[in-house]
Structures are given as C-alpha cells and as structure tokens.
Amino acid sequence: MANPIYDCLINKKTTKKPVWFMRQAGRYLPEFKKIRKLNPNFINLCLNENLSTKITLQPLERFDLSAAIIFSDILMVPYGLHQNVNFKKNFGPELGDISLDNLLNIKKEEFITKLKPIYNCIKKVKSNKIMKNKNLIGFVGAPWTLLVYMINKKSPKNKISNNFFDDKNLINGILNKLEEFLKIHIENQINNGADVIQIFDSWAGLIDKKDLTNYAYLPTLNLVNFIKSKNIPVICFPRGIKNYKEYSEFVKPNAISIDYKVDPHKIKKEIKIPVQGGLNPNILLSDKETIKKEALNYLNLFKDHPYIFNLGHGVLPETDPAMIDYLVKLVNDY
C-alpha cells in the first residue's frame, strides 16, 4: 500500500509530506460537539464503539488527511486496570485511589474485555472505504506519563509533588504492570487494524535529568521494541523533553514528534530519523497569512528530511475548522 506516512516512516522518502493532527477528532468540530452534548460521560463515549468510530472518521470526511487517529484517551489504560477515571469540565481528569494489591491481581482477559469497544472501533474504522490508502494510528500513553496520572490522581500541570517518589515499591509495581498491559493494549490495537502506533509521553518534561533513563528512556524503549517486533512503525512524542537527540538515539522510534517550544533548526541538525510536528496550535487561531508563513517555515526547513506535518500539541477547542482545511490544502499542495 503506497501512502505518504509509510513512505516517510519506513522508506524515509522526503517528497510528499503527510499531514494529520493530534486531537484532529473531537472538540473543535461542530459535528463532534453535537455528539458530546448528548454524551457528557467521556469514558462512556470512548467505549461507545459506534460513536467513537463516527468521531474518528469525522475529520476525514472534511479534510484530505493522511491518517485517522482513534478517538480514545491514554487514561483508558488506568481505567482498564480498575482505577476510577472521571473527566470533570474545566478541570480535566480525576483518578481514584490506587491499590497495588488490586493492580497485581488484574487478569489479561478482564482488561481486554473492559477495553474491547476500543478494539471494535479500530476494526470498524479500518474497514471504512474512506480509509483507502490512509493510515490508522493507534496510541498509548508512555509508562512515565501514566504513572504520573495514576499516582498524582490528576493532571500535574507543570509540577509533580515533592513526595512523589517516596513509595518506590508502588512506583516499580505500577511501572511493571503498565509495561505488561500497555503491550496488551498495543497488540489488540494492531490486531484490529492500527498500522502505526504513537506513544504520548505528555509529562516527559517533568523528569529530572538523573531519572531520564529509568523513567523515560528504558520503559519507552521496551514498548518501541515490542511494536517494532510486530512490524509496525512507532512515533514517540516526549513532550517537553530537553534533549530530543539523546532520546531519539536511546529509544530509537521510527519518528520523533516535536513540541512547539523546540527549535526546529536544532532538530534538523541533530536528528537523523523522520520528524513529525512542531507547529504551535495557537497559530491556527490567527489568520491565513500567518498560518501560511509558519507552516512554510516547517515545510521548507524539512524539505529534504523525512517529515510528517503535524502540530506541536493537540488542536485547540476554539480552532475554526476552515483554518484546518486551509492548512491541510497548503501542505498537500506543497
């Protein structure tokens, strides 16, 4: 199957620049807002295979994107591990207490059963005719980021608590369990049709330099090796990490996704593997001239480097879909 994402990730081709967006399915689309209004419970919405299929496909019905990314959430894994997960309006995720004993006793079968609607959604999306020559991106949160949510029980914003590392037994227990069940979650996504996996390490920027190997590099490397053993390419997004070069050389994903606070010139100079993303999502709240100027900065800079056009973070809720349409056409015509 010839498609631009595989050409970039596997064949390292530099001609056609693929384009998709983190959070392309969801909050900025009027057709999504209608569904969301009738389905206030976010977890239930992710587990409604018909609606999550519909939501995943909505952006592809509007825009000529290179890929679909499943409508789901990285916190579906803690949910599958029986931790309570709620999403509160204007607050974000709120997680319940965690018991290591309960965690250690969870069986693979019950986890898969709990998350089965996600795998069914992937299968349905994959078989839709709109997906011809397009990739289907499955994803997981990196072990470190999920650990932060599971212990912190909410978004850390930009700081973890001083006593975060106090219970080493709990931390190691959770990390081991996460590795085991993230592999199960990844495998089920692949078996149902996901042909690229992205690993989101949203809180990688919170790790001290001395702890990077233990908490960011090694746990993610184990997942990357597992995904590659399935002959599936993997993209890593270690948001806020200080040293993308060191991360890329240690973890060795097929591509590295960069956030908008990074100097793309430095990335171009230092990174040998394909690169994804970088554009500040706020740019989409401006005008077409600004969007064109900023997008061309990335497209011209990575003209001779395998590059997937994306943002340095998710599409913002207040984004006008017309601006996404304009940007997609700009990239496709480049």
Global confidence as pTM: 0.97
pLDDT in tens, 209-259: 999 999 999 999 999 999 999 999 999 999 999 999 999 999 999 999 999
The closest of 208, 210, 147 to 174, measured between CA atoms, is 147
pLDDT in tens, 169-224: 999 999 999 999 999 999 999 999 999 999 999 999 999 999 999 999 999 999 99
The phi, psi pair for 93, rounded to 5°, reads -75, 145
pLDDT at position 160, please? 87
Domain ranges in the chain?
A: 4-333
In this prediction, residue 90 carries a pLDDT of: 81
Q: How far apart are CA 205 and CA 145, in angstroms?
A: 10
Which pLDDT belongs to residue 1? 47
> Per-residue pLDDT averaged across 287-311, rounded?
98
For position 89, what pLDDT does the model report? 83
Task: With cut-offs at 50, 70 and 90, classify the pLDDT of residue 2.
Answer: low
pLDDT band at 157 (very low <50, low <70, confident <90, very high): confident
Residue 113: the pLDDT is 98
User: How far is it, in rounded angstroms, from Cα 284 to Cα 84?
Assistant: 35
Q: Across-strand partners of 236?
A: 199, 256
Q: Are the C-beta atoms of residues 250 and 221 closer than 8 Å to each other?
A: yes
Chosen CATH of 4-333 out of 3.20.20.210, 3.30.70.360, 3.30.420.40, 3.30.1280.10: 3.20.20.210
Give mean pLDDT, residues 153-179. Answer: 91
